[in-house]
Structure 1
Amino acid sequence: MTNNFEAYIFDLNGTIIDDMHFHARAWHEILTKDLGSDISYEDTVLQMYGKNQELLERVFGVGHFTQQQMDKYALEKEKRYQAEYKPHIKLIDGLSEFLENAYQAGIKMAIGSAAIPFNIDFILDNLNLRKYFPIVVSADDVDKSKPNPETFTKAADLLGVPYDNCLVFEDAPKGVEAAKNAGMKAIAITTLHKPDEFHITDNVIKFIADYQSLKLI
């Protein structure tokens, strides 16, 4: 297919690696066993968007924790996630070839994630992805999380590419919504959410389970 986009912006967790179930288990353990919530695993999954501190505030309410406490629990969650996931770490099927083809075609690429740098570095360094992603926008780089478009618009600005020439790769409904709010098309990866769980789809070019049959768009 002829490539109609100048840049690709990738979310990270669930989009580059299929790890969202590991995140969900780590969060659910902390929310219930450490913090005493009775939240279900399924509801934990639904709350997994935006920054870590925002998840804690959605579950327990604003002001329940100090910023220091939220930072502590957020980092502890990432440590538990990394310890469990590291033996399984790998790119989603077909992505290695897709990234290399995009790189050779001169398509600019960036990471636009709500993850903290501690988590992003874990993925990029363990999978040797730095050459593909010279631009990284993390939770620490934005004031407002997805579905606010800031993550993606900032990535596009740093790449120097107009928003409508960027294609977003996302696994979360809120991420696809953020792409729409940025004026960007998206490809939705169904690692955690089924297509019918995406409430906004008019900017979605395609739903994919992996990248094996995906050609440059």
Structure 2
Amino acid sequence: MIKTVIFDMDGVIVDTEPVHRYAYYQQFSELNIDVSEEMYTSFTGLSTRNTFQTLKGFFPVIEHEVEDLIQRKRNIFNDAFDTKQDLYLLEGVEDLIKDLYANGMQLILASSASKVTIERVFTRFNLHQYFSHVVSGEDFPQSKPNPAIFIHAASLSIAPKEECIIIEDSTNGVKAAKGAGIYCVGYRSANSNLQDLSEADLVVSHFNELNAQKISQLKP
């Protein structure tokens, strides 16, 4: 029986992707680099640090240190996040979170986002009360698809990993979940059409397809 649900955040709980995209492309313009849509899509699920490490390898013209690049992007993102009015939880996810919590399931967040971004989202939408642990990708040297973040999240579970599931929306996230040996539910949203969820054990298109009873009976 499933006892712990591990959530990704961006694209699963809240869609901050338009804000991230705005911040990244403003910074790309400042750096005078041309990042294709295909390349940008490949960064989905990566931490900001890994994204800029990759970009520095691809664009030698970038002379800034990775930490400086991260801070600049974070500043642009935070300014946009604080002024963006149309930022909502994804449809159905709040009801799912509340249903899982009310039925005694443990909820853990494992997101590639920085601690600062996670805190902003959790505070804005009052989510702290539902999650026993919050794990940020900035604490790991490699991002998804490396499974380290999910292996760590599962170690915080009240149950063995065989009684955990992960909800993810990205190619890299699904690969990380399977690399950790954990049952993965792929969430296909309007913003994840370019993501390959074929390795997920189950794929849903709306959170009303899930509830505590259905999840508890999944068989990894």
Pair 1:130 & 2:113 matched: no
Pair 1:45 & 2:41 matched: yes
- Equivalent of 2:92, from 79, 89, 94? 94
Structure 1 counterpart of 2:218? none
**Is contact 2:114–2:137 with CA below 8 Å preserved after alignment?**
yes
Shift of 1:44: 1.7
Pair 1:155 & 2:150 matched: no
Distance 1:80 1:37 in 2: 22
**Is contact 2:7–2:167 with CA below 8 Å preserved after alignment?**
yes
**Is contact 2:50–2:142 with CA below 8 Å preserved after alignment?**
no
**Is contact 1:28–1:44 with CA below 8 Å preserved after alignment?**
no
TM-score (norm 2): 0.85
Per-residue CA distance 1:4-50 (angstroms, 9 max, x = gap) = 3110000111110123233223212211x111111134532322332
Instruction: Tell me the C-alpha RMSD between the 2 structures.
Output: 2.1
Task: Name the SS for the 1:154 alignment partner.
Answer: helix
- State the identity %: 24
Pair 1:20 & 2:17 matched: yes
Per-residue CA distance 1:77-120 (angstroms, 9 max, x = gap) = 432441454x1222111112111110111111110011111100
Distance change >3 Å, CA 168–CA 118, structure 1 → 2: same
Shift of 1:214: 2.2
Structure 2 counterpart of 1:75? 74
Task: Name the SS for the 2:6 alignment partner.
Answer: strand
Which residue identity lines up with residue 139 of structure 2 in the other structure?
D
Distance 1:96 1:197 in 2: 23
Structure 2 counterpart of 1:184? 182
Structure 2 counterpart of 1:143? 141
Per-residue CA distance 1:130-184 (angstroms, 9 max, x = gap) = 1111200002322321111111111111223322211111111100000000111
TM-score (norm 1): 0.87
Task: Name the SS for the 1:187 alignment partner.
Answer: strand
Task: Give the count of matched residue pairs.
Answer: 209
Which residue identity lines up with residue 172 of structure 1 in the other structure?
S
Structure 2 counterpart of 1:193? 192
Task: Name the SS for the 1:90 alignment partner.
Answer: coil
